[in-house]
Structure 1
Amino acid sequence: MQPVDLNPKRKKENPLVWIFEPLERDPEYSRERFFNFQAAYLDGLLYLAVASGEEPWNGLVVCTSHDRQAGLLEAFPVLAPHPVLGKWLYVSQRDPEFETVAHQMVKLARERDPRMGVVPGKRKRSPDVIEMKSSSRKKKSW
């Protein structure tokens, strides 16, 4: 009988994190949650991210910029600009070449390919969230 997880808030492990295993030997590698992605960072730069949800959030995202896309698209025609995150490139895990391309992207990331890697932005919070946080810190006087 399978054990049942009684904590409904617990996040399930992303089944695509195996892609990052070759990076684990790199002392400058870290893996962190990035919205609904698991993201691979090298030297503090965001290189790759994986998501396993509904399309277009079901595959590998290559973190790059518009001005560096052309070289990657030419070398890897299976990559395409992500339909929502247009400056980043995407390959769905439904694509027959997914595993091959994923391995190639990890190899390029390990080599610090200059076409990849972006400075991660700071997460922006809405003014409502900021207000809630600051008001919850105020001491109540009875």
Structure 2
Amino acid sequence: MPNDRSMPFAPPKRQAASRRNTLLWIFDPLERNPSYLLKPMFGCQAAYLEGRLCLVAADRGDPWNGLLVCTSHDHHASLRQEMPALRPHPVLPKWLYLPQDDAAFETIAARVAELVLAGDPRVGVEPKPRATGRSNNRPRV
């Protein structure tokens, strides 16, 4: 089979269509905030407000099928008291998780989005700075 260089006018290879995250509706109210930012995160979509990572919509297979509420352990008890369906995520227990198969998923997800939009200090974490991959003592070119 010839390589791509031998056929300069060959049509591009077909790429698999990316699957749309069906949980992005949760973030609709957040779009009113000018600081709202949507970023991909481990195959899911993450919502940031005021530079803080707040929510992750995970529309994949278990345990990545629901809403992750980015918070610290200090706030787990009060959030779970208000919304008992929230539980520590099985892979990322530092965050709370609302599985999509919960009977009250839509209601609770909407409530969590309201908390984020209202600036509730229990929801949201400062993202860790990304590693640049270069040593600090090497000069920039």
RMSD of aligned residue pairs (Cα, Å)? 1.6
Instruction: Work out which of the residue numbers 30, 33, 48 in structure 2 matches 1:23.
Output: 30
Moved more, 29-38 or 98-107: 29-38
Identity of aligned residues (%): 49
Q: Aligned partners of 2:22, 2:130: CA distance in 1, in Å?
A: 25
- The letter of the residue matching 1:19 is I
Moved more, 30-39 or 79-88: 30-39
Task: Quote the residue 1:137 is aligned against.
Answer: none
Q: Given the two structures, how large is their TM-score scaled by the length of structure 2?
A: 0.80
Task: Quote the residue 1:66 is aligned against.
Answer: 73
- The letter of the residue matching 1:91 is L
Q: Is 2:124 aligned against 1:117?
A: yes
> What is the SS of the residue equivalent to 1:107?
helix
Unaligned runs of 5+ in 2: 1-13, 135-141
Instruction: Spell out, residue by residue over 1:98-140, the C-alpha distance to the aligned partner (whole angstroms, 9 max, x if none).
Output: 0000000000000010111001123459xxxx69xxxxxxxxx
Greater Rg over alpha carbons, structure: 2
> What is the SS of the residue equivalent to 2:58?
strand
> What is the SS of the residue equivalent to 2:20?
coil
> What is the SS of the residue equivalent to 1:11?
coil
* Residues 21-100 of structure 1: pairs in structure 2 closer than 5 A: 21-100=28-107
Q: Aligned partners of 2:104, 2:129: CA distance in 1, in Å?
A: 33
Q: Given the two structures, how large is their TM-score scaled by the length of structure 1?
A: 0.80
- Of Structure 1 and Structure 2, the greater helix share is in 1
Structure 1 residue ranges, 4+ long, deviating more than 6 angstroms after superposition: none
Q: Aligned partners of 2:75, 2:81: CA distance in 1, in Å?
A: 11
CA drift at 1:69 = 1.0
